[in-house]
Amino acid sequence: MSAQRAVAQLDAITHRYGKTVALDAVTLDIPAGSMAGLIGPDGVGKSTLLGLVAGARRVQTGTVRVLEGNMSSAAHRRDVCSRIAYMPQGLGKNLYPTLSVNENLQFFGRLFGQTRQQRQQRISELLEDTGLAAFRQRQAGKLSGGMKQKLALCCALIHDPDLLILDEPTTGVDPLSRRRFWDLIDRIRARRPGMSILTATAYMEEAERFDYLAVMDASKVLATGSPAEIRAATRTERLEEAFIALLPAERRGGHREPVISPPTSSTFDAPAIEAHGLTKRFGDFVAVDHVDFSIGTGEIFGFLGSNGCGKTTTMKMLTGLTPASEGTARLFDKPVAANDLDTRRRVGYMSQSFSLYTELTVRQNLRLHARLFEVPAEHINARIAQTAGQFGLTEQLDDLPETLPLGMRQRLSLAVAVIHRPEILILDEPTSGVDPVARDRFWELLIDLSRRERVTIFISTHFMNEAERCDRISFMHAGRVLASGAPRELIRAHGGGTLEDAFVSCLEQASEPASEPLSAARPAPAQPVPSDRRHLSASRFSLRRLLTYARRESMELRRDPVRLTLAMLGTFVLMFIIGYGISMDVEDLRFAALDQDQTVASRDYLQQFSGSRYFKQAAPIANHADLDRRMRSGELSLAIEIPPGYGRELDAGRTPQVGVWVDGAMPLRAETILGYLQGLHIGYLVELARRQPIAAASSPASVATRYRYNPEVRSLDAMVPAVIPLLLIFIPAMLSALGVVREKELGSILNFYTTPVTRLEFLVGKQLPYIGLGLFNFGMMVLAAVTVFAVPMKGSALALTLAAVLYITCATSYGLLISAFTNSQIAAIFAAALGTLIPAIQFAGLLNPVSSLQGPGAVIGQLYPTTHFLAISRGVFSKSLGFADLRGEFIALAATLPCIAVLSVALLRKQAK
């Protein structure tokens, strides 16, 4: 094979994620022009290897050469990325679920710089080929698993690549779709014999049709060669057996094929589980459609079907987790009820994904479940020891589940499900992703429980060899049971062969041609793919690609009503909250007087307070104890005490003292009250002086205070122009931060890694829709400010709008900067909140001018964009300023922008770690 030309060469590749080694010194040559496959269970490094070859992951140590170039070089990656297509693991992982089939394809076509005509032609061909033409307008998220995989394949093939990389393309897909998928690949290869295909799979039987295999386990390659060579080398008949034979001896650990003893009695007497016309609808989607079955006591009953066919929902209805829309389910001859605690005590359930507490150790998990299932306290320790022994977990009792290998974790899940000795076990795909040896051990335990303890087992799986071990099985597809019976009977009824053949023929009978046309039946198109094979050498900057991303992002935003509503409604709600909330006006403060003088003069003095709009008079205070009590309860904010003889002293020209008590619990309010008091007091003195017979001898000078810009000192007039900048950084930054991180979490970021789009195009493209949304918010807020809040706008609206454009661009860039270094949505939310709320509220001059700040706060305040836009907003709204007056702020805003942009481009990686 060394004579063959290699499409990809890996030399001493080691790859780690933190402490975990994913690939351990792997050296491998993958032949060109052939169909090469990586086989092995989950978590052995297959996906990492494919990601490295595709250029989606950064090479850590060693060299990867693909298509005659080193993948560590960014220039080479840019050159070849339009010759490679990568379809990541997971059903439709690189698709955009809210976009239609056509829109998804258009997006990929545009990214590779195809003209409208090229795109139309190519898309039509691909859709015809894969039988998706009838579903052009359907949203990708609403396709079945098999169709999603076909669409993902179409997206991968749109630019006619030389190397096609498929990562577990058929996992979780029903057997019929699986066969059709490989037929489709064969037809594509027939037409493009030069194309190399590299694929990974966990289904050993699929690997039989590959030209070249690399068998992987535990970060290493165990063997390479054609399937026949591998079988011959291990002297086995099937690849699954070959795989087991290749495992090191300690992993095989006395492995043997589980033997099923026949049921103790040939007929299962009383049915333990029964379903009649069981139906579940989610909206107009029917997940389970009139399912009937009856499972006898001690029987092993299997559900066989693809992802999303209704297996899980059926099981949830049996456990009472989900109420049935129609029909009945009975356990132990009693209808399933959500609050029937007694029945639940007799049932054990194991859900699809590992769902025990990862924070608790193995022992703590077992103990918690034993306690909650009310195993008598004195038996718990013995029961834990016994169960751990039975499931081979004794040595792991004090480990955390996360440190255990997948197979052992599954055993723990089963151990937890049987700790209370249930009579029925409901197991939802308990073995998916587990290696064949561990799977067989798991089945030994099940057989033991069924045959020895007469536990009724209801299990779902998509492995055919597991289904063959059940006493009876049901084929399930699209919410319906297609056929039920003993595996052997089903094979016989569908013309012999294997169980998979029986399932496929069952599916073919059932599927109506309209729902998914049988593409296998169509002749392959005679026309070869248009060989316009000029590979667009990726240019450094392309406006088209940028706009492609902008267009897609805005489509997604439009179709996510929750995000859109929160973004728009949120702005309004917050504007009202802050506009009213951060208010400095204090009105209608309750005050009362302790008037110990009771003269005309004292009443005259108090008159000015009760007449003011700030204060509201309460019943007079009787004595000091009363004063203390009423202040303490918070009833009064202010108490005024006029001493006895006040009037007399005033007349005598002496200076009487008036005592005032202010509730200081809220310092801000107290200071405001003091301010009002001083004002009223001075006013009274002036008034008093004027009433004097000799007017000349009034106070020597006075201060004429002019409140500029906001003469009535209305809180709203001051706050609203300040709230707009606050909200315009908070929400746009949050949205754009989530925009990129969401792609990271959901996996579509891979399209950025593996297509010619550059970092700047990606970032700016994603930013544009949020700038648009921000401007819309800006317009609405200004409108609300002028109408609802009645805040006059005195200066140049044009200047404000222009500044808003600059500022929102800054804010969204800031969000992108955050998303460039965070990896989860929750972290992005926290970082965006911390990075915007605190500086914007504390340091940007909202309450205290930046010039009053000291230390680091002052520096942040000078640099932060909100400071400048706040000055512009206040300038335009209240100070009737225009461009000329606000020059400095505009320059500062405009200068911030490139700094943030450069930083985020620098921080964003074009490859995964």
Partner 1 sequence: MIARTLRNTWQLGLKEFRSLYRDRTLLFLIAWAFTVGIYTAARAQPETLNAAPLAIVDEDQSQLSSRIVGAFYPPYFRSPEMVSMHEADRGLDSGNYTFSLDIPPHFERDVLAGRNPALQLNVDATRLSQALVGTGYVEAIVDREVMEFAKRQQLASTPQIDLVPRLMFNQIGSHVWFGSVMELINNVTLLSIVLAGAALIREREHGTVEHLLVMPLRPLEIMLAKVWSMGLVVLVTAALSLYLIVQGLLQVPISGSVPLFLAGTALHLFATTALGIFLGTVARSMPQFGLLMIMVLLPLQILSGGTTPRESMPDAVATLMLAAPTTHFVEMAQAILYRGAGLDVVWRPMLCILAIGGTFFGIALSRFRRSIADMQT
Binding of residue 577 to partner 1 (CB under 8 A): yes
Size of site (CB under 8 A) for partner 1: 142
Select from 580, 648, 790, 891 the one that contacts partner 1 (CB under 8 A): 580
Question: Which parts of 383-412 interact with partner 1 (CB under 8 A)?
Answer: 400
Select from 660, 783, 895, 899 the one that contacts partner 1 (CB under 8 A): 660
Token reading at 385: 């020891």
Shortest separation between residue 16's beta carbon and partner 1, angstroms: 22
Select from 713, 891, 899, 902 the one that contacts partner 1 (CB under 8 A): 713
Binding of residue 379 to partner 1 (CB under 8 A): no
Q: How far apart are CA 724 and CA 637, in angstroms?
A: 33
Interhelix angle 715-746/865-878, rounded to 10 degrees, is: 140
Shortest separation between residue 491's beta carbon and partner 1, angstroms: 31
Shortest separation between residue 55's beta carbon and partner 1, angstroms: 29
Question: Which parts of 733-762 interact with partner 1 (CB under 8 A)?
Answer: 734, 738, 742
Q: How do strand 480-485 and strand 424-428 relate by DSSP bridges?
A: unpaired
Select from 20, 137, 266, 339 the one that contacts partner 1 (CB under 8 A): 339
Question: Which parts of 463-502 interact with partner 1 (CB under 8 A)?
Answer: none
CA atoms within 13 A on the CB side of 73: 10
Shortest separation between residue 588's beta carbon and partner 1, angstroms: 6
| φ, ψ for residue 188, nearest 5 deg | -65, -40
Task: Using the rule CB under 8 A, give the single segment among 295-303, 435-443, 522-530, 568-576 that binds partner 1.
Answer: 568-576
Shortest separation between residue 798's beta carbon and partner 1, angstroms: 18
Task: Using the rule CB under 8 A, give the single segment among 218-226, 450-458, 548-556, 717-725 that binds partner 1.
Answer: 717-725
Q: How far apart are CA 388 and CA 586, in angstroms?
A: 69
Select from 335, 675, 779, 792 the one that contacts partner 1 (CB under 8 A): 675
Q: How far apart are CA 323 and CA 518, in angstroms?
A: 36
How many residues comprise the chain? 913
Shortest separation between residue 763's beta carbon and partner 1, angstroms: 20
Token reading at 614: 């700030």
Q: Amino acid letter at 580?
A: Y
Q: Which is nearer to partner 1, 43 or 647 (CB)?
A: 647
Question: Which parts of 180-199 interact with partner 1 (CB under 8 A)?
Answer: none
Binding of residue 699 to partner 1 (CB under 8 A): yes
Q: How far apart are CA 244 and CA 436, in angstroms?
A: 7
Shortest separation between residue 392's beta carbon and partner 1, angstroms: 22
Interhelix angle 101-111/543-558, rounded to 10 degrees, is: 160
Question: Which parts of 859-888 interact with partner 1 (CB under 8 A)?
Answer: 871, 874-875, 878-879, 881, 885, 888
Question: CA torsion sign, 244 to 245 to 250 to 253?
Answer: positive
Select from 9, 89, 226, 583 the one that contacts partner 1 (CB under 8 A): 583
Q: How far apart are CA 743 and CA 908, in angstroms?
A: 13
Token reading at 103: 């829109």
Select from 120, 261, 537, 852 the one that contacts partner 1 (CB under 8 A): 852
Binding of residue 201 to partner 1 (CB under 8 A): no
Select from 195, 677, 724, 768 the one that contacts partner 1 (CB under 8 A): 677
Binding of residue 658 to partner 1 (CB under 8 A): yes
Q: How do strand 347-350 and strand 334-335 relate by DSSP bridges?
A: unpaired
Binding of residue 689 to partner 1 (CB under 8 A): yes
Which residue has 């200068």 as its token pair?
Answer: 895
Task: Using the rule CB under 8 A, give the single segment among 88-96, 307-315, 452-460, 774-782 that binds partner 1.
Answer: 307-315
Q: How far apart are CA 610 and CA 463, in angstroms?
A: 85
Question: Which parts of 60-119 interact with partner 1 (CB under 8 A)?
Answer: none
Which residue has 């990492």 as its token pair?
Answer: 48
DSSP state of 514: T
Task: Using the rule CB under 8 A, give the single segment among 460-468, 575-583, 778-786, 890-898 that binds partner 1.
Answer: 575-583
Q: Which is nearer to partner 1, 413 or 519 (CB)?
A: 413
DSSP state of 259: -
Shortest separation between residue 589's beta carbon and partner 1, angstroms: 6
Task: Using the rule CB under 8 A, give the single segment among 197-205, 218-226, 263-271, 714-722 that binds partner 1.
Answer: 714-722
Token reading at 760: 């700047």
The answer to whether the beta carbons of residues 215 and 225 sit under 8 Å apart is no
Task: Using the rule CB under 8 A, give the single segment among 243-251, 446-454, 530-538, 625-633 that binds partner 1.
Answer: 625-633
Closest CA to 107 of 535, 603, 498, 549: 549
Which residue has 């400010």 as its token pair?
Answer: 785
Select from 3, 75, 526, 704 the one that contacts partner 1 (CB under 8 A): 704
Question: Which parts of 629-648 interact with partner 1 (CB under 8 A)?
Answer: 631-634, 637
Question: Which parts of 231-290 interact with partner 1 (CB under 8 A)?
Answer: 282, 287
Question: Which parts of 802-831 interact with partner 1 (CB under 8 A)?
Answer: 825-826, 829-830
Q: Which is nearer to partner 1, 70 or 583 (CB)?
A: 583
Closest CA to 210 of 191, 222, 196: 196
Q: How far apart are CA 781 and CA 721, in angstroms?
A: 10
Binding of residue 796 to partner 1 (CB under 8 A): no
Token reading at 526: 């005679």
The answer to whether the beta carbons of residues 651 and 645 sit under 8 Å apart is no
List, as one string, the DSSP characters of 189-233: HHH-TT-EEEEEES-HHHHTT-SEEEEEETTEEEEEE-HHHHHHH
Binding of residue 145 to partner 1 (CB under 8 A): no
Shortest separation between residue 525's beta carbon and partner 1, angstroms: 37
CA end-to-end span of the chain, whole Å? 31
Binding of residue 373 to partner 1 (CB under 8 A): yes
**CB crowding 633-672: b at 16 or more within 10 Å, else e:** eeebbbbbbbeeebbebbeeeeebebeebbbeeeeebbeb
Select from 330, 480, 669, 759 the one that contacts partner 1 (CB under 8 A): 669
SS3 291: strand
Token reading at 903: 């930083």
Shortest separation between residue 818's beta carbon and partner 1, angstroms: 14
Q: Which is nearer to partner 1, 347 or 446 (CB)?
A: 347
Q: Amino acid letter at 342?
A: D
Select from 582, 780, 802, 863 the one that contacts partner 1 (CB under 8 A): 582
Binding of residue 599 to partner 1 (CB under 8 A): no
Q: Which is nearer to partner 1, 536 or 826 (CB)?
A: 826
The answer to whether the beta carbons of residues 306 and 172 sit under 8 Å apart is yes
Binding of residue 329 to partner 1 (CB under 8 A): no
Select from 190, 625, 700, 787 the one that contacts partner 1 (CB under 8 A): 700
Binding of residue 833 to partner 1 (CB under 8 A): yes
DSSP state of 537: P
